[in-house]
Structure formats: structure tokens, C-alpha cells
Amino acid sequence: MSQPRPRLPLRVFDTVQGIYRLAFEHAGVLVRLSWLSAALSVVATAGAAYILPPLLGVDLSGAVSQVIDAAFGAVIAAGVHRFVIHGHRPVSFYYFRATREEALFMIAALLFLAAWVAGNALVSAVLVALGLVRSGEGGALAVNPVAGAISVITLATGLYFTVRASLVFPVITAEHRASFSRAIALTGGRFFGVFGIYFLASLPALAILFLLSGLISPIVFEVKPDQSVAVRPESWWAIGLFQFVGTIIAASISGVTLARTYLAITAGPRIIQAVGTSPGEP
């Protein structure tokens, strides 16, 4: 009778160090994998916001932009995962690929989004039906403390299951299947370690985006005489630039983080000790 495979330890800080190092040393590759899809996403989102409302008579640009972001984000994420896990690099300055793998990435991302939207809508409907949330003076919502507690629990539950199922993306690349059960099995008993990796790995990206938003805010927003804040019509280029750079940073770092976390769990010390070597060579 074969012995069960030993459980490999998850080295949180070593994994985060590997993520930082890979992202820094291979920043050029990550940009090549992402810039074209990021640019197409900005153009498509702007086009949807401009064309759809007068055409349909209703503003669905928000929902459409979510689908657009998922589609082009899937192209970037799949490319980053192939680079980190298999060592596949783009052969030219631009990269765009649409295969079954990208389709699975997009479907998985939309399922995560749909689960969050449906869960929040269901909880909100229940709270309203129970009278725990109602309209107050001036149209403001009056929230019962019980409703606040339920909302916090709902958020924590959603976060828990999101982290537990998040490795479905590297599973698609490494194992060629979209298996949420496999992703949940990989993170079993490792929630806090995986969450810690995600949190620490995201800090530099969040700092860069926060700094960038501070730089462009005076360009995008203006304070009117009545102290209200409005978006400057001529600032479209700054908004597009922020979306472009933000997409590159968010999609690249999240892809590297997910892929390296998967390798840390499945390959253990072999991949951690290889930090700084070519990705795909644990």
C-alpha cells in the first residue's frame, strides 16, 4: 500500500520574496505580456461607455466594462501564468493570444464576479425584507447594527471562499483543467498563509497605484464654486492612462502571485530555493 504524499510546508515570506524578485527582474517581460491587452481594454471600455447608452437607451457600460476587463485580463493573466509556470516568454514586443486557456480564465473570473454580485444582492434583499435596512431622512439608509454585523460576516465569508478557490487559475495553466475543487484542496488548511502571501505581495502594487492616483487627481478632478467635485471633460487621457498602467500592474502582479503561490504549494522548497532563476525551472 502506497504511503500518502507528505504535505509540503508553505513558506510565506520566502514565497513573497520570490514574487517581488521575479516581478522586478522580469518587469520587461511582464510589460510585453500585458501592454497590448491593457491598451485594447482601455479603448474597448471607452468605446462601450460612448456608444452603448445612446444606442440601447440604458447605461449598461458598467456591466459591459466588467466583461471587457475579464476578457483582456484573461489574456494577460494566462500569459503571465505560462511564463511563471512553464517559462514561456513572448517572442516579440507585443503579445496577444486567445485560446481555450484564455477562455477558461475569463469564465473563472466572471464566475468569481457573479458569485460576489449574487451574494451581495441576496444578503441585501434579505436585510431589506427583514426591515434591518430602510430609508432614513434625506434618502440616506438607516442600517440596523445587526445588519452591519451580517454584512461583515458576509464579506468575510466571501473573502474566505475567494482565497480558497483562487488557485483555479494556475490549475488551468499547470494541470490543463478548470477545477475549483482542486484549487480548494490545494489551499486546505493554508488559508491564512495564502491570504498572507496575497496581502504582502499586493502592497508594492497598491502603493504605486495610490501614488499614481494622487498625481493624476488634480488633473482629473476640479472643485466648483459650490464646493462640489466634478470630472474635467478634457482629462479623458489621464483617466485612460491610469486605467492602462493600473491594468498592467494589477494583472501582472496578481498573475505572478497566484502562479508562485501554486508552485510554492505543489513544488515546496524546490521552487523557493530557485528564487531568481528562470521561471519554469524549479
Question: With bands split at pLDDT 50, 70 and 90, how would you rate the model's confidence at 124?
Answer: confident
- Is residue 4 a part of any domain in this protein? no
Question: With bands split at pLDDT 50, 70 and 90, how would you rate the model's confidence at 224?
Answer: confident
Question: Which pLDDT value is given to residue 143?
Answer: 62
CA 216, CA 235: separation in Å to the nearest integer?
9
CA 183, CA 56: separation in Å to the nearest integer?
39
Question: Which pLDDT value is given to residue 128?
Answer: 74
Question: Which pLDDT value is given to residue 7?
Answer: 67
- Please name the residue that has the C-alpha cell 517581460: 29
Task: Say whether pLDDT at 73 is over 50.
Answer: yes
CA 170, CA 84: separation in Å to the nearest integer?
10
Residue 34 half-sphere exposure toward CB, CA atoms < 13 A: 28
- Is residue 7 a part of any domain in this protein? no
Residue scoring higher pLDDT (277 or 169): 169
Is the dihedral angle over the CA atoms 174, 101, 78, 106 positive or is it negative?
negative
- Is residue 1 a part of any domain in this protein? no
Angle at alpha carbon of residue 54, lines to 52 and 59, rounded to 5°: 55
- What would the mean pLDDT of 2-6 be, rounded to a whole number? 53
* Tens-digit pLDDT profile for residues 184-218: 999 999 999 999 999 999 999 999 999 999 988 88
What are the phi and psi torsion angles at 154 (to 5°)? -65, -45
- Is residue 229 a part of any domain in this protein? yes
Statement: the pTM of the whole predicted model exceeds 0.75: yes
- Is residue 207 a part of any domain in this protein? yes
Task: Say whether pLDDT at 270 is over 50.
Answer: no
Residue scoring higher pLDDT (58 or 34): 34
- Is residue 210 a part of any domain in this protein? yes
- Cell (9 digits) for 182: 482542486
* Host domain of residue 124: 12-272
Cβ atoms of 10 and 18 within 8 Å: the answer is no
Q: How many domains does the chain have?
A: 1
Q: Which residues contact 237 (CB under 8 A, 6 or more apart)?
A: none
Question: Which pLDDT value is given to residue 275?
Answer: 39
- Cell (9 digits) for 149: 454585523
Least confident of 102-106, 125-129, 136-140, 258-262: 136-140
- Is residue 213 a part of any domain in this protein? yes
- Is residue 5 a part of any domain in this protein? no
CA 274, CA 259: separation in Å to the nearest integer?
14
